[in-house]
Chains A and B, each alone.
Chain A
Amino acid sequence: MTEVYPPLRQPLVAGDKSLADVTQEVCAPLERRSTALWWLAFLAALSLLALGVAAVYYQVTTGIGTWGLNRSVGWAFDITNFVFWIGIGHAGTLISAILFLFRQRWRTAVNRSAEAMTIFAVTCAGLFPVIHMGRPWLFYWMLPIPNTRGPLWINFDSALTWDFFAITTYFLISLTFWYVGLLPDLATVRDRAKPGWRRRLLAFVSLGWNGSYRTWHRYETLYLLLAGLATPLVVSVHSIVSMDFATSMLPGWHTTIFPPYFVAGAIFSGMAMVLTLMLIARKVMHLQDYITVRHVDAMGKIVLATSCMVGLAYAIEMFSALLSPNPYEQFTFLNRAQGPLGWGYAIMVTCNVLLPQLLWLRRFRTNLAAVWVLSIFINVGMWFERFVIITTSLERDFLPSSWADYAPTSIELATLAGSFGLFFTCFLLFCRFLPMIAIAEIKGVLRIGREGPAVEPRDPASAEASALAGVSRLDGNQGVKP
């Protein structure tokens, strides 16, 4: 799948690397001892994870009562965290599958870690539906397993059942897709490894990759097919998650706009999380040449686009609620914006709609520190979006006699922290033990083997500017030749 780029095109990898440089640089972190910084981060993440494990252990042994839920608010932190993490995952699939199909070559630098992020995020997400149950040890009752419990079966009318299928499907496809993509790189690492258990293990997990034409051919076909398979999931999974709410009859949940709204929100939050992670990783793992300003710029545009979609959804939701003849619906939305959790709504609108408008400015998009700070705001804002949707609707529904406020307990806060601990622990382990960048793919976008004259050296600022111009004008549909 090598392509030839027109001379105007800026390189996707800076630093004029040779093929060996790429292999060397990407594999280096795996082959040397961990840095102090890595250990520090890892221990911090591990502590959070331990805190979360302790909290979940306590909650499972003592009861859901250790959460701040009540007779009116049956879901709050648990499902908020679930939707949040599922949303995070979506960016990974978008980058690895959809952008692959659209031949967005810049994705090669970030797709591996984005996919890893997807898997870890879905793992975190999957935790919550299980532990939020009153009797989590019976979670397998949600599966349609033939059983001896009489004519008991699951309820295919329930959105929670669809949810269960959607998430497990998503997790399996994502994992397979990621693993298949890893195969050539695992083989590379295998070949570099000294004889010993590590090499034997790598030999096993790289499934006997031999680099032959036939292997490559099968690999490319499988990868393309998996990308095709994963693509609808980007839309379907979060649509189904949104149906947990949309198919209920609670004002504020029962909204037809939810599926597209949630998908846009998921990609939005996922991209923000990718930015958060990549911007740190490129610094810490010395990958500045691979994850360049150009990548950040491209992702910034996606963030901006999805932010506008989310903003539109907020506006339409409010508009149609106020226009509707349903007084309960009207009240719910007024209450959402101005009620006891109005501050949460303000955070959500500020972080998700107002602040991302800064991305219209190229200067902002290319300022990595600023983008990183913005990505944190978006993460916070998107968490609050789910919290506000779930909690405000439950706190004040039909009968005023049952209105009840919700406040999280220490156990819930610890569980949320623990999910971040799990995520970062997994991610740090990934950075340490697997190639963070798809070596085989990135080699395909190097200049090596291309026709045409090299770009004349120019001063860095204008080079960057023209590179950005190239992205916006030409990227994706020009100059692709077999």
Chain B
Amino acid sequence: MSETKTATGGGPSRREFLKAAGFTFAGALVGGCQRAPEQEAIPPLSQPEDIVAGRPSYYASTCDACRAGCGMLVKSYDGRPIKLEGNPEHPLSRGGLCAAGQAALLGLYDRLRLQHPSREGQENSWEEIDRDIRDRLHDLRGRGGLRVLTGTVTSPTIQASVTRFLKHMRENGDFADAKHVAYDPLSCSAILDAHERTGGSRVLPRYHLDRAEVIAGFDADFLGTWLSPVEFTHAYRVGRPLTGDPPRSSYHVQVESRLSLTGSKADERVCVAPEEMRAVLARLAVAVARQAGAPLDAADELSPSLAGFCDRLALRLWQARGHSLVLCGSQDVPTQVVCNFINHRLENYGATLDIDRPSLQRQGSDRDLATLLHDLDAGKIAALFILDSNPVYDLPDGEGLARALRQVPLVVCCAERLDETARLARYVCPHPHYLESWGDAEAVSGVIGLRQPTIPRLGETRPVIESLAAWAGAPKPAYDLLREHWKDHVLPRQARERDFEAFWDRSVHDGYAEVDPDPDRVRPKDFNLAKAQAALQAPAAADRGQTLVLYSKVGMPDGSHAYNPWLQELPDPISKVTWDNYACLSPDAAAQLGLGDGDVVRVEVRDGALELPVRVQPGQHDRVVAVALGYGSIVSERFAGIGPPWLEARPTVGENGLVGQNAAALLAWEGGTLRYARAVEKLTKTGKKHPLALTQTYDTLTLPAHLAPPGQERRPLVQEIGLSRLARKPAAPPHEDKPADLWPNDHPCPEHRWGMVIDLNACTGCSACVIACQAENNVPVVGRDEVRRHREMHWLRIDRYYSGAGAAVEVAHQPMLCQHCERAPCETVCPVLATVHSDEGLNEQVYNRCVGTRYCANNCPYKVRRFNWFAYAHEDKLQNLALNPDVTVRSRGVMEKCTFCVQRLQEAKIEARLRGEHLHDGEVQTACQQSCPARAIVFGDLNDRASQVARLRDDPRHYHTLAELNIGPAVGYLKVVRNRPDDGEGQRHD
């Protein structure tokens, strides 16, 4: 819309026109030249080994998005990582990688990641910063305590460095009480404390869900966010194979106050108020003890129905003793002690719970943290080193903590981003992204993951271990520090390799090393029954008011991911909300207050309040208000401008300029631990509105009552079958593969016919596939307003349907992607043949032929086609490095959709042809399939009768969604199986 001379009426003369044209042309030339810096266009004189331009390399590494320590493979193109995938050989994660883990790639290419060390906000050199810090430490000697505050440290090398640093400070720096304090933003301190009471050592057991035949979860969202979801999801899946005669499946009971992802998969789900949890566990303990023949007496104030449930569960657990597992997510130590007692009585220790090789995924101690906060308030701390954590954001009373931190003479913060805490630190020492540096992680005792750099550092950052070594006066590169530690402490813990170099090379290649547990660890003692008895006697809370429950979302494990646009736009698998946190209320509770989705409610607790939009959430206890943590972080400021700018666009951030609100302010200290549940003082309607960005607005398969044709109230899109019925059913021949058709098949697939089968029973809805697809296929992020307008771009979505009502709701997850129909409705209607069928059974979208009539999307019964409403590609040169070079970045006005990862198919076919072989089954995996922790997605060649996908098509559980349309979808589903003791014909979706 530039002003030209024509507007003034004169019109440009010929000379002026030529001049303008010349400048434009020259400008275009100059602009074009800037894109490729010449110095990097010269190929290296000697090609680096194994690096072929245009061919990806995979490096084994270990994920650092949370402390679960999953193994991963970094797919790297021309020296830049473009995708993170699960490492199939890793003993914990077994090939899965969660949504947050995969999305961490964007962190590497984050424009706003800290690039330089700084002092009081001014960029500075490392030498000067180090000198300064050492001088300050020298000045401060004897003036107070020194603390190193971290999250859980799973890295043995960092742990050793911290220990060395503290030792140096104690011995040479006159900080006699120099100490390391670890805390977790999502604390599990109570479990460790309870084991300290009952077993004498502060450990977190490693849970083996695969060995458990009966699993009882108590507010532990182990498939979603608790401790190590990928590991647990895989193990859970292993425990439900549905093979054998009768088909085998673990029995899973979930007792919880809000609807978690884990609860959505349970065979039986019981909704109780948070304060009842201890009473339920106590009753269960009594019942189990009775089964064990050692009765206990304990106060019993449960309702008869809950008591009956506990007795039934106790019987199931007892029958499966040694093969059962009780998991509890409570932060109340006595409750955890009761849980330990139950597991002890059920002889699960050593079987399904391992405390000899414990989990190291949570080591934080709320007690230590509380002491530190107290010391800070009292001004006893002279120097505080905060390593890779953000206590000002994570902890309640962040403002108070900020005030206290300003009084501390020396605050050094090693951070990746300028978060709430780093803003207060005098010295900010950025550490590199874990894809740029060496590192290790021992998430579970005996499995040590290794990290290797996959790209040169993008800024002047320095690993934490190097910084600690420098401040301790012995600077050394991280690589050397790591190798030294491994040589001295890891190599001796195994017997397979004698030679360190061989051991090291193998570990780097594998990405992990399996070794013996750390010999220095305190051994657990015998179970202390007396403590458990005492816990049973502890009076239960008798609160009957509303309870605020703070939880973490699958897509936003904690605030450290708030910078990540993929995760912000990932729909929560249960609530289907993106870009916000909100107050979940049960339908009855919401109706009582006259609230609906998007009405803003004020949640007041004793020492704080938040105003949040409401999301009406079935399956939640009526007296619970659930709010997600991890939002309202200062790093989400960046999203103020995300999304296409146009006349009616609304901002992605809220009134506070951030995405969502920080609910950590409402956490409470109680009994020495951080509590995620507390009493609500007042819940008031504000009258304000904040429409939520939902990707699914209709939640059930049941049609609205006044619109449902009689007898057709429920659509059979997700089908269920009871375990006992599955056992009775003979392996039925597939009935829908040969539909009656008037016309001969006009799409012959002579060689391959690609197909997919998704096991809805295995699928937990964890959404790892959604992010995998987004990363693989360059799917753009569109921002909150666009999602609100139902224009999210995800090629793969997970449909979530409720059945039943109120607290007893049941949930089904159905991943939905292009079904690559044989007789695809989209293909016939395109006027320009932009969507066509390939001779391998793929429904292909030709982007550069598409003119954007959107007829194909209208005619798609699965509504999986996505349209580029705006030009979403943007010129962020750093972030665009994350784009997959094998996949086109789509322009404005064209349709797009799942391609079955056609780029991977082509690559695999080319590789096979080069080898002169046929493509073997399983050799090519789609992105969604690769990262699925539950192995729910199977992809392959349907023409190959021996392939896994072809065999699954003959499974009695196999069905096609909307088979009645006779369009021949290439994606099939396996029915959900519920393991119910009283299961008759209880398939609600059938």
Contacts and interface: CB of A to CB of B under 8 A. Distances in A.
Interface of A: 58, 62-66, 68-72, 74-75, 132-136, 138-139, 141-142, 152-155, 157-161, 164, 244, 247-250, 322, 327, 330-331, 334-335, 338-339, 394, 396-405, 409-411
Nearest to B701: A400
B712 interface: yes
B893 A64 contact: yes
Contacts of B707: 331, 334-335, 338-339
Contacts of A404: 697, 790
Contact of A248 (B717, B786, B858): B858
Given A64-B867, A397-B861, A70 B791 contact: yes
Nearest to B835: A155
B697 A405 contact: yes
A459 to B, nearest CB: 58
Given A248-B829, A248-B858, A134 B816 contact: no
20 contacts: A63-B871, A74-B854, A74-B858, A134-B852, A134-B893, A139-B851, A142-B831, A155-B830, A158-B831, A160-B853, A248-B829, A327-B715, A334-B707, A398-B861, A400-B703, A401-B696, A401-B698, A401-B799, A401-B814, A404-B697
A135 B850 contact: yes
A244 B830 CA distance: 11
Given A136-B851, A155-B831, 16 more contacts: A65-B791, A74-B858, A155-B828, A157-B829, A158-B831, A248-B829, A250-B858, A327-B709, A338-B707, A394-B858, A397-B863, A398-B715, A400-B699, A400-B703, A401-B696, A401-B797
Contacts, number: 193
B855 interface: yes
A141 B851 contact: yes
A160 B834 CA distance: 13
A337 to B, nearest CB: 9
A401 B765 CA distance: 14
Contact of B865 (A71, A153, A403): A71
Contacts of B699: 400
B7 to A, nearest CB: 15
B29 interface: no
B800 interface: yes
Interface of B (DSSP majority class):
loop
B862 A74 contact: no
A160 B697 contact: no
Contacts of B797: 401
**Interface size band for B:** 35 or more
Sorted from nearest, which 8 A-B pairs have the closest CB atoms? A134-B852, A134-B893, A65-B869, A74-B854, A70-B790, A402-B863, A401-B799, A327-B712
Nearest to B862: A399
Given A63-B869, A134-B867, A247 B829 contact: yes
Interface in B681-707: 696-701, 703-704, 706-707
A158 B856 CA distance: 10
Given A397-B861, A401-B816, A133 B893 contact: yes
Contacts of A141: 832, 849, 851
A199 to B, nearest CB: 30
B866 A74 contact: no
A64 B833 contact: no
Contacts of A394: 858
B789 interface: yes
Which of A75, A134, A397 is most buried by chain B, counting CB atoms within 10 A of its CB?
A: A134
A63 B825 contact: no
A63 B892 contact: yes
Contacts of B830: 155, 158, 160
A134 B850 contact: yes
A99 B39 CA distance: 78
Nearest to A142: B831
B862 A398 contact: yes
Interface in B798-824: 799-801, 814, 816
B988 to A, nearest CB: 15
B892 A134 contact: yes
Interface string B557-588: 00000000000000000000000000000000
Interface in B340-371: none
Given A65-B644, A66-B646, A331 B712 contact: yes
A154 B832 contact: yes
B495 interface: no
A58 B648 CA distance: 12
Interface of B: 644, 646-648, 696-701, 703-704, 706-709, 712, 715, 717, 786, 789-792, 797, 799-801, 814, 816, 825, 828-833, 849-855, 857-859, 861-863, 865-871, 892-895, 961-962, 965, 967
A112 B855 CA distance: 36
B857 A152 contact: no
Given A63-B893, A71-B863, A399-B861, A160 B712 contact: no
A399 B832 contact: no
Contacts of B868: 63, 134
Given A160-B855, A250-B859, A331 B791 contact: no
A400 B698 contact: yes
Contact of B644 (A63, A250, A322, A338): A63
A161 B828 CA distance: 11
Contacts of A72: 790, 863
Contacts of B647: 58, 66, 409-411
A58 B644 CA distance: 14
A244 B858 CA distance: 11
A248 B853 CA distance: 14
Contacts of B857: 71, 74
Contacts of A58: 647
A467 to B, nearest CB: 51
B829 A75 contact: no
Contact of A400 (B715, B852, B892, B895): B715
A334 B706 CA distance: 8
A410 to B, nearest CB: 7
B709 A331 contact: yes
Contacts of B862: 398-399, 402
Contacts of B833: 152-155
Contacts of A247: 828-829
A155 to B, nearest CB: 5
B853 A403 contact: no
Contact of B829 (A63, A154, A160): A160
A460 B11 CA distance: 63
B800 A401 contact: yes
Contacts of A339: 704, 707
Given A74-B854, A338-B707, A159 B829 contact: yes
Max count, chain B CB within 10 A of own CB: residue among A68, A133, A399: A399
A156 to B, nearest CB: 9
Nearest to A163: B831
Contact of B867 (A71, A159, A248): A71
Nearest to B852: A134
Contacts of A62: 644, 646, 870
Contacts of B697: 403-405
Given A71-B867, A161-B831, A338 B706 contact: yes
Most buried by A among B696, B697, B703, B851: B851
Contacts of B696: 401-402
Nearest to B863: A402
A74 B867 contact: yes
Contact of A65 (B708, B870, B895): B870
* Best-buried of B789, B851, B858, B861 by chain A (most CB within 10 Å): B858
A134 B894 contact: yes
A401 B852 CA distance: 24
Contacts of A153: 833
Contacts of B816: 399, 401
A139 B862 CA distance: 27
A287 B829 CA distance: 48
A71 B866 contact: yes
B701 to A, nearest CB: 6
B965 A399 contact: no
